[in-house]
Amino acid sequence: MTHKTNDGFVIETISAYEKTDGAGYSRRVFKTEFTESTTDFIPYENLTEELVIGWVKDSLGSELVSETEALVDAECEAMKEAISKPITQDGKPWESDEIENPEEDKE
């Protein structure tokens, strides 16, 4: 979060919406710029995470926030599914997945 040093006004935030579910992960990042306003100024030291998240969501708009949440959730689920149930696999049917121990063959 970038702010002015003279009065603490927040100029810009970089924020992300992300989700992790097991092996699944997705993330979207947003840069939000703010213009100075003389109304409702809140001193920098009084800002809270919840307040700034509210500003970002208001700036993005409820439609984009909902679309982003749905997209990130779907991508996370798709990644989790792809990892747990791959559609391709390497190997040959005549090769064993197990590593043979040559010492066992000597007995």
105 belongs to a structural domain? no
Q: CA–CA separation, 69 vs 64, rounded Å?
A: 8
Share of the chain above pLDDT 90, in %: 60
What is the number of structural domains in the chain? 1
pLDDT band at 56 (very low <50, low <70, confident <90, very high): very high
Is the whole model's pTM more than 0.75, yes or no?
no
Contact status, residue 30 vs residue 65, Cβ threshold 8 Å: no
Three-class SS state of 44: helix
99 belongs to a structural domain? no
Mean pLDDT of the chain: 87
DSSP structure class, residue 64: H
- State the residue range of the domain holding 25: 2-84
Q: Which residue has the higher pLDDT, 76 or 39?
A: 76
Q: Which residue has the higher pLDDT, 106 or 62?
A: 62
Mean pLDDT of 22-50: 88
102 belongs to a structural domain? no
